[in-house]
Structure 1
Amino acid sequence: MRLQRTQIWALAVLGLVVALALLPLPTLPYTTGFAPHWVTVLAAALGAIFVVRPHPAGLLPAVLLLWSAGGVVLDGFRAFFAVTGIPAGDFARVDWPGMALRGLSLVGCALLGALLLPRLRVPGGAWLGYSAFAIGFVYPMVKLYWFLGGTLLRPAGHAEGFPYGELVMLLIGAVGSLALVQRWGRRLPRRLVLAGGWAGAAMLTTMGAMSVFGTLSQVLGLTHGPVPLSDLAAVVTVGLVYGSWLLFGLAVGGATLSYQRATP
């Protein structure tokens, strides 16, 4: 059997993932609740099988790799402050080996997905973009509601200011989602739309998967995480807020794939 270039690259990346995950490297407290390394090793090993023999069942290791990549966006923000020297206290401390592992897991997930997607029937249509547009309002509106004094599901001690960042993210996400499905989006540079769509999907799904799967594994007793399970409001909030990120990312990813297939 002769392997394609994508398969060779995928196997190389997954091999690096396994090697790095098996090293007894120190971690930092902020990684509590991230995917345990045994999940990453299992995901990479199973993923290698479906790299050689692509099959729709390979979605399972792809999802596990996505979970393993969870936190890489947070790593990136911390790395920015660490590299630039902008004062940020503990937020400038970075788990560099873990960041590399999470980044490689994301690359492995992307390469495995590139091999699997041509063999999958992925629902298309404008509804994915409009769904992404609607879901994108959940998180910013919740933060705005809490800022305005709303108490439903508000975490104890919540004292954040006006959600400028979240509203800017909402604007970018809303415009990007519509660009994938409306006619004016076809007049934009195709590479720009694709880059924005896939980058947004990667950021949203990794953050959402980290929180949703991390909380589920904590509930099942598989991992120790930061969510106080005795506080029902906190658990519901994680599911609502971060679950919306995961759904947002999946909708953006589906809309981006539909756009990619529909445009020359």
Structure 2
Amino acid sequence: MTPKRPLADRPTPRAARPSRSDRLSRSDLRSRAGRAALVWSLVYATGAALAALTGPAFGYALLAKETGAAAETAAAALYGAAAVLGYAMLRRPHAKRLSTAAWVVVALCLTSGFAALLSPLHLLFFLSRNQPAIDWAALVNQSLAVLGAVLWGYAALAHRRGAHGTCLHCGGHTPAPEAHRGTRAGLIAAAALVPYAALKTAWALGATLGFTGVGRPGVDPEYTSDLGILLYDHGVDVTAVLAVLGMVLALALTRPWGRRLPRLPLLALGWAGAGALAPFGAFLAATGVLAWTGSADLDLADHAPWVFVVAYGGFSCYGLALGRATLLYQRAARRACDHCRSRPRVTSARRGGG
């Protein structure tokens, strides 16, 4: 009779070891992400260089204004350096520090494309009077920068997971328990918009709380569209309605009924709202504080300083809480990775008496 071999001395089952095709697919996935980020950086840097040399800004000028070649030259240098980093990530797939540097490029792309996150505000051009013309070149450029942030984020994540030996698809993480879906973050985000929605609704109903000018607060006939004025005359402020929709979004990310809604649109709206409103609200709140304390003489457009701090500044709290709720929703809604699930776990612990 053939003696039994100890468990620790038995060879690892073939099904538990990554196959050659699996190893190749992992490497190919990481290289595709890195190549996409590299190609994007080369194209974006080349466009900036052409803008600096030929004259037209192509949307690279600072704050979409003609500021000369300085902004375009800086963009060409920075994104050229990003292309070098992308090449280094392809050549050195196990260098963990490179993926950390890649997140700096993500932040740079978001800085370049920040205005695109506020692009829904361009709807005012179609709904209002006397709005400035849309700079379509700048909007396209900023949208490309946001696309670059997505590509670089994916490349950084794939490189980091490859360097640490974790699954490139899910990072080896398991879905978060349902009890930790960020209910508190959703409630905080919804509550942060209550002062703004209540104030704008009160103005639409005829109140003048927090308004120091002449006329109707919250609506300017010179700029507001006919539809906006009609709704305002019936006590409905369009921006207050948008605030209520923002509350619904925050609750959808944290309440059980939100799980019946499409996952990707919720994530896209959550991250876009968090990235756009958190800094925007902080800027408005800081403006109100400076005017309220008398530290700066600022034009608040006939609004009391506390309106900027309490109502408009709530956008910052909303953005931060919405970002938290979106992150927790993303973790809780993460599905089990098919690649990890197809590999059975092998525990080869040496049991006594080997």
TM interval, short-chain normalised: 0.5 to 0.7
1:110 equivalenced with 2:150 (yes/no): yes
- Listed as ranges, the matches of 1:62-141 within 5 Å are 62-73=106-117, 75=119, 77-78=121-122, 91=131, 93-116=133-156, 125-126=181-182, 127-141=184-198
Give the whole-Å Cα distance in 1 for the aligned partners of 2:282 and 2:72.
Answer: 17
Residue of structure 2 equivalent to 1:256: 326
Cα–Cα, structure 1 residues 249 and 41, in superposed 2: closer, same or farther, change >3 Å? Answer: farther
- Picking from 228, 246, 249, the partner of 1:173 is 246
Cα–Cα, structure 1 residues 243 and 71, in superposed 2: closer, same or farther, change >3 Å? Answer: farther
How far the C-alpha of 1:103 sits from its partner, in A, is: 0.5
- Picking from 56, 67, 82, the partner of 1:25 is 56
Give the whole-Å Cα distance in 1 for the aligned partners of 2:309 and 2:76.
Answer: 26
Cα–Cα, structure 1 residues 60 and 239, in superposed 2: closer, same or farther, change >3 Å? Answer: farther
Would you say the 8 A contact 1:18–1:40 is kept in 2? yes
> TM-score when scaled to structure 2?
0.50
Amino acid at match of 1:231: L
SS in structure 2 at match of 1:93 = coil
Amino acid at match of 1:179: A
Cα–Cα, structure 1 residues 199 and 185, in superposed 2: closer, same or farther, change >3 Å? Answer: closer
Aligned-residue sequence identity (percent) comes to 22
> TM-score when scaled to structure 1?
0.64
SS in structure 1 at match of 2:56 = coil
Would you say the 8 A contact 1:128–1:251 is kept in 2? yes
SS in structure 2 at match of 1:173 = helix
1:183 equivalenced with 2:183 (yes/no): no
SS in structure 1 at match of 2:149 = helix
1:5 equivalenced with 2:36 (yes/no): no
- Picking from 160, 167, 170, the partner of 2:218 is 160
**Runs of at least 5 residues in structure 1 that lack an aligned partner in the other structure:** 217-228
Residue of structure 2 equivalent to 1:15: 42
Residues 65-116 of structure 1 deviation map (CA, whole Å, 9 limit, x = unaligned): 32322222554554795xxxx6855537221221111101112223333455
Root-mean-square deviation (Å): 4.6
- Picking from 149, 168, 173, the partner of 2:208 is 149
Amino acid at match of 2:297: S
| Matched positions, count | 238
Cα–Cα, structure 1 residues 212 and 16, in superposed 2: closer, same or farther, change >3 Å? Answer: farther
Residue of structure 2 equivalent to 1:219: none
Cα–Cα, structure 1 residues 202 and 261, in superposed 2: closer, same or farther, change >3 Å? Answer: same
**Runs of at least 5 residues in structure 2 that lack an aligned partner in the other structure:** 1-26, 66-70, 90-97, 162-175, 220-231, 287-295, 336-354
Amino acid at match of 1:54: S
